[in-house]
Structure 1
Amino acid sequence: MVAPIKTALLSLALLVSTPIALVQADEPRPQHAIAMHGTPKYSAGFDHFEYTNPEAPKGGTVRRWALGTFDSFNPFIIKGTPAAGVGQIYDSLMVKSQDEPFSQYGLLAESVVMPEDRSWIRFKIRQEAQFSDGKPVTSDDVIYSFKLLREQGNPFYRAYYADIETIEAIDDRTVEFRFKPSQNRELPLIVGEVAILPKHYWQGRDFSSPGLDIPVGSGPYLIDSYDPGRSLTYRLRTDYWGQDLPVNRGRHNYGQIRYDYYRDTTVALEAFKAGEYDFRQETSSKNWATSYNGPMFDNGEILRDEIRHSNPTGMQAFVLNSRRPLFTDSRVRQALAYAFDFEWTNKNIFYNAYTRTHSYFSNSEMAATELPDAKELKILEPIRDQLPAEVFNQVYRAPNTDGSGKLRQQLRQGLRLLKQAGWQIKQGKLTNAQGQVFSFELLLVQKEFERVVAPFIRNLNKMGIDVRIRIVDVSQYINRLRSFDYDMMVYSYGQSNSPGNEQREFWHSAMADIQGSRNLMGIKNPAIDYLVDQVISAPSREQLVLRTRALDRALQWNHYLIPQYHINSYRIAYWDKFGMPDTRPLYALGFDTWWMKSGTDNNEGSQP
């Protein structure tokens, strides 16, 4: 679907034509929704998504928190630090349901027309769709948005939409996308996810620079007020054009959403318990085990819950920058993994809260957990000579231990690999034939993560490796990732139930040298490129699963990173101010379907 030949990224051919006949005898019929595979769950004329409450009251102020600071209301570029929640001011042509793997329903688009081969798609924009300044949303806005994002936006957009050949305005409310012959079945859906920007607002402005001018959008919220870098408040639009659409009934219920920024996560947690904000999703197992207690929890003022989900948990890992000469050899990358003792860490630091991650698509049917079967081997055979032999005869498992903290055997395995790669311990330091000492920097953004990496670093030190920790603030961290200025860092690659074009952004050679891309490891591998293209062009759900497993194996056995751990539930805590639907979505937390209960302390301004 929320990455050895470097192809030229062509600009969109943006055409505005005179009106032509919209429906030909052999054209498909307009639809209210489209699915990646199969048929959308909700039929035409549905009233609301099952996981929403269409009678939910609207109003009140929900207070949330964010880490660091912000200096921009433009989340589409690689400069600046965008404000939390700013995407809420925009609408897209389609909206994804949260209880299907990948189906989309009309939002700005009233209907869609798409042939069976998915070589093009045509959107009919709703007549009532308008921006917050009252101007209508038109085909020109759609065309302008794609032109702007691909030419001046984050490099992600150029990769994600590389297979769009033309966009044509059929009339003021009808826009047609035509695609290159690439069998990219996902493309019609993902063009529907793009935030549509107002041409009349951005024309003449510098889109490529961050700034705090409040932009115009067509979404349910407006930026109401802000204190630069410290807080901002969104206000629900009383004139929101789409509030009664089936896809929106029971959503967007908060009258105001306020974000307060904290520079320190420990301070932020204490602020939550003091009632400074209302909702928190916890990512620290230590905090979850030890800090969510006290009178406000005992008397029910604050509630806590663990909600299981059906999402792939992706890959959180120590990411190695293979652009660095130190990490170009896969044997070196593999060797370092033996120094991470997950079992000891989970028991002594994480309160046994986590599961070891082995797959880039963990917690899903797309994870490669068994040897490839005949159908998958058919996918892998054309590139057999470009893949590690283990892809075909072993199931990848990250190194494991007995949890005792005694790693002599594992560290010896790592040192054997390092010796094969030309490194030996001399006078206590790992050194190569040129006399270079093995030394690198581990980049972190959260000070609290030091306790996680400390045992890992101690084990690396036992291998003669010198590691320095560098902790930077959020803005500097973002900038260093964008410019690939790191040796090793911690990163999490999220995945969806329908992998697709984002895999090009993550792993494809074409993105390795484009600053701001998410090919953070610097992968340049023809076999990976081939498998990414196979995933994107998968003609069925069965083939998507098989091709993603093949990609998973290739990534695993090239040892681009050191897998960490995952959890398949949301850990949440919230003050008892919320109502929520009886049915939860399968593939999301669904916080936008909650509402503020009447009579709560910060429920001012109900019915905004």
Structure 2
Amino acid sequence: MRLRRTPISVLLLLAALPASAAPAMALGYVPKYPAGFRHFDYVDPAAPKGGRLVLPALGGYDTLNPYTLKGDKEAGVGALTVETLMEQSQDEPFSVYPLIARDIALAPDRLSVTFKLDPRARFANGRPVSAADVVFSFDTLTRDPGATPGYRFYYGDVARAVAVDPLTVRFDFKRPNAELHLTVAQLPVFSRAWIPKGKTLADVAMTPPIGSGPYALAGYALGRQSTFVRRPDYWARDLPTRRGMYNFDRIVYRYYKDETARLEAFKAGEFDVSAENVAKQWARGYRGAKFDDGRIVKKTLPHGASSGMQGFVFNLRNPLFADVRVREALTLAFDFEWLNRQLFYGQYRRSDSYFSNSEMAAQGWPSEDEHAILEPLRDKLTPEVFGLAVRPPVSDSRYGVRENLKRARELLLAAGWRYDGGRLVDARGRPFRFEFLSYSRTYERVVAQWQKQLAKLGVELTVRVVDPAIFQRRMNDFAFDTTVVVYGASQSPGNEQLNFHSCRAAKTPGSSNWAGLCDPAVEAILPRFQHFETRQQLVTAARALDRVLRAGRYVVPNWHIPYHRVAWWNRFGQPATLPRYYDASNWAIQTWWAKPGS
């Protein structure tokens, strides 16, 4: 059945009328699940409890605090032990339903949102969840200097959080923001008893947060393993947003240093579920008697989620990449078609948008509505933005990137580079040399082909593989030339776009503005992700931004697939219905169960 679409302005008004606190709210449409619903469609409410699920994690960890900028995070603490004010469903673009908060009410002027907390909500230490805890959580994440800076961008338009009474919390906004009331509903809530008075997040690096989630951390071997047990006193187990979910008695994470070790460990039975990201391993590694006789199941599972943009990002903080002609030339040397044939077994599609696999992706010529956004910025934009949406270069099936390299050479010469003994050098004779940073050797063979083509242009590319902990520190400090990143995109892009592309984020260590982008046209478009009335306005803003970013050539676009590659040992049950927007590992954690006797 098709959902009836309603303008956001109408929904917000209805939600803000006196005594109109709503148990659910959606962004631009009527929520799918009515008041009093029993469970989400993608769970089995009769799923049995018990058993164990073992999952892999890559690298290691040196902190049990999921909210600090510094340190390598343990994989499960944030997701399993801490809950948010409300729960986002996985079969709608952006809808929230009761969890810690039993209802939500937006003020008529859209300058505040109020949540009523469920009086049954309890932390793992037995104390009730109070409005004071919610305020403490918000203040810690947005004001503590050691917190991951993404929270400050995500909640940048929130002026303050106020405990109205023990079970009522209000968030006051600096200005109306179309999605802010829903993003606030995603706030993780932990007990104010977690951080002693006068201390900060940095002081509790090895103390896990006190949350209200379904699991508690039971033990760990630093950097190697962590174990969580299901709380027998879990307060929300019978809520509609939790019924049929979190069915395992124990969840264990085991850490592996690289992808090869992880795959071999899976086939040896060291863990239960493998969500594979490496095409070669999926094509050639998931074979053998255990797959043939059904002991291990191997499947591709479709999803409807936006794939965002994966690509090799150019760090504009390095003057080497300041000229868009240089960035385009380096992009022309990347032969995706060859890689897809020779290394990826034809599994991938080229990512051509920052909102790939989504209606947000710009297509063809700009629409009239897109023109309305872009035209006032014409003096800040290249003419390309007003033409057909920029697409990644395509190599010829017979001659490869030969023609692309000719064009790349022309661009480099036009940008002031010249050739000296086969090397590309600048006016002062300095060679064109840069480094690709990675934490996994998987990308060595991928980058090798790019490296080979760049050498034909006289460009020297080196590859440096470092420990995941060192990699993360260098990323936080923006200490790299280029690396692979993913600009993740939700079904309803919003405040996170500031973290990706704003001038403020470019200057903030630990942000996701890896490119160091600070562009006046982009800066002018970003507020449209915070202030809109209808979903179509949001779609138009995303397409306009997409055109500008693609014309800027800030990344060498990589690839995506519209399905998950998943294998698991055949000892689990799963619901009959898949969610539409989901992560494969989280799907297993949240909705699977152990088969009796397994």
Q: Give the letter aligned to residue 129 of structure 1.
A: A
Please name the residue that 2:54 is paired with.
63
What is the rounded CA distance, in whole Å, between the counterparts of 2:401 and 2:550 in structure 1?
A: 22
Please name the residue that 1:166 is paired with.
160
Could you tell me how far 1:284 is from its partner in structure 2? 0.8
Could you tell me how far 1:405 is from its partner in structure 2? 5.8
Distance change (3 Å), C-alpha of 1:394 and 1:439: same
Could you tell me how far 1:404 is from its partner in structure 2? 3.9
Alignment of 1:125-144 (within 5 A): 125-144=117-136
- Out of 472, 479, 489, the position equivalent to 1:485 is 479
Q: Which moved more, 1:453-462 or 1:532-541?
A: 532-541
Please name the residue that 1:403 is paired with.
397
Partners of 2:349 and 2:561 within 8 A in 1:
yes
What's the TM-score, normalizing by structure 2? 0.95
Could you tell me how far 1:288 is from its partner in structure 2? 0.8
Could you tell me how far 1:28 is from its partner in structure 2? 4.9
Alignment of 1:228-243 (within 5 A): 228-243=222-237
Please name the residue that 2:510 is paired with.
516
What is the rounded CA distance, in whole Å, between the counterparts of 1:310 and 1:522 in structure 2?
A: 30
What is the rounded CA distance, in whole Å, between the counterparts of 1:208 and 1:159 in structure 2?
A: 20
Please name the residue that 1:98 is paired with.
90
What is the rounded CA distance, in whole Å, between the counterparts of 2:177 and 2:435 in structure 1?
A: 39
Please name the residue that 2:11 is paired with.
none
Please name the residue that 1:277 is paired with.
271
Q: Give the letter aligned to residue 244 of structure 1.
A: D
- What secondary structure does 2:163 align onto? strand
Q: Give the letter aligned to residue 100 of structure 2.
A: L
Please name the residue that 1:202 is paired with.
195
Alignment of 1:317-356 (within 5 A): 317-356=311-350
Alignment of 1:178-577 (within 5 A): 178-181=172-175, 183-204=176-197, 205-209=199-203, 211-404=205-398, 406-577=400-571
Please name the residue that 1:599 is paired with.
597
Please name the residue that 1:44 is paired with.
35
- What secondary structure does 1:200 align onto? coil
Partners of 1:28 and 1:115 within 8 A in 2:
no
Partners of 2:65 and 2:208 within 8 A in 1:
no
Could you tell me how far 1:267 is from its partner in structure 2? 1.3
Partners of 1:27 and 1:115 within 8 A in 2:
no
Q: Deviation per CA, 1:54-82: give whole Å up to 9, x if none.
A: 11011111111111111111111110111
Partners of 1:513 and 1:522 within 8 A in 2:
yes
What is the rounded CA distance, in whole Å, between the counterparts of 2:368 and 2:257 in structure 1?
A: 52
Distance change (3 Å), C-alpha of 1:550 and 1:256: same
What is the rounded CA distance, in whole Å, between the counterparts of 1:524 and 1:227 in structure 2?
A: 42
- What secondary structure does 1:254 align onto? coil
Q: Give the letter aligned to residue 358 of structure 2.
A: S
Structure 2 residue 141 is the aligned partner of structure 1 residue 149: yes
- RMSD, matched Cα: 1.4
Could you tell me how far 1:296 is from its partner in structure 2? 0.4
Q: Give the letter aligned to residue 490 of structure 1.
A: V
Alignment of 1:10-49 (within 5 A): 27-49=18-40
- What secondary structure does 1:199 align onto? coil
What is the rounded CA distance, in whole Å, between the counterparts of 1:48 and 1:86 in structure 2?
A: 25
Partners of 1:312 and 1:362 within 8 A in 2:
yes
Q: Give the letter aligned to residue 120 of structure 2.
A: E
Structure 2 residue 73 is the aligned partner of structure 1 residue 82: yes
Q: Give the letter aligned to residue 26 of structure 2.
A: A
Partners of 2:17 and 2:108 within 8 A in 1:
no
Larger relative contact order (CA 8 Å, sep ≥ 6) = 1
Distance change (3 Å), C-alpha of 1:567 and 1:284: same
Aligned length: 576
Identity of aligned residues (%): 43
What is the rounded CA distance, in whole Å, between the counterparts of 1:304 and 1:137 in structure 2?
A: 42
What is the rounded CA distance, in whole Å, between the counterparts of 2:56 and 2:456 in structure 1?
A: 40
Please name the residue that 1:113 is paired with.
105
Partners of 1:79 and 1:210 within 8 A in 2:
no
Partners of 1:318 and 1:489 within 8 A in 2:
yes
Could you tell me how far 1:209 is from its partner in structure 2? 4.8
Partners of 1:76 and 1:154 within 8 A in 2:
yes
Could you tell me how far 1:375 is from its partner in structure 2? 1.5
What is the rounded CA distance, in whole Å, between the counterparts of 2:399 and 2:341 in structure 1?
A: 10
Could you tell me how far 1:113 is from its partner in structure 2? 1.3
What is the rounded CA distance, in whole Å, between the counterparts of 1:480 and 1:461 in structure 2?
A: 26
What is the rounded CA distance, in whole Å, between the counterparts of 1:448 and 1:312 in structure 2?
A: 24
- What secondary structure does 2:84 align onto? coil
What is the rounded CA distance, in whole Å, between the counterparts of 2:208 and 2:193 in structure 1?
A: 14
Structure 2 residue 574 is the aligned partner of structure 1 residue 580: yes
What is the rounded CA distance, in whole Å, between the counterparts of 1:339 and 1:62 in structure 2?
A: 44
Could you tell me how far 1:550 is from its partner in structure 2? 0.2
Q: Deviation per CA, 1:165-203: give whole Å up to 9, x if none.
A: 22211100101111122x311100011111101112213
What is the rounded CA distance, in whole Å, between the counterparts of 1:209 and 1:371 in structure 2?
A: 53
What is the rounded CA distance, in whole Å, between the counterparts of 1:109 and 1:213 in structure 2?
A: 26
Q: Which moved more, 1:503-512 or 1:385-394?
A: 385-394
Q: Give the letter aligned to residue 29 of structure 2.
A: G
Could you tell me how far 1:455 is from its partner in structure 2? 0.6
Q: Give the letter aligned to residue 255 of structure 1.
A: D
Q: Give the letter aligned to residue 437 of structure 1.
A: P
Distance change (3 Å), C-alpha of 1:215 and 1:165: closer
- What secondary structure does 2:188 align onto? coil
Q: Which moved more, 1:535-544 or 1:573-582?
A: 535-544
Q: Deviation per CA, 1:254-312: give whole Å up to 9, x if none.
A: 11100111112111101111111100001111111111111100100000110111001
Q: Give the letter aligned to residue 365 of structure 2.
A: L
Could you tell me how far 1:399 is from its partner in structure 2? 0.7
- What secondary structure does 2:209 align onto? coil
What is the rounded CA distance, in whole Å, between the counterparts of 1:322 and 1:26 in structure 2?
A: 48
Q: Please, which runs of 5 or more residues in structure 2 have no aligned partner?
A: 1-15
Could you tell me how far 1:536 is from its partner in structure 2? 2.1
Q: Which moved more, 1:517-526 or 1:404-413?
A: 404-413
Q: Give the letter aligned to residue 594 of structure 1.
A: W
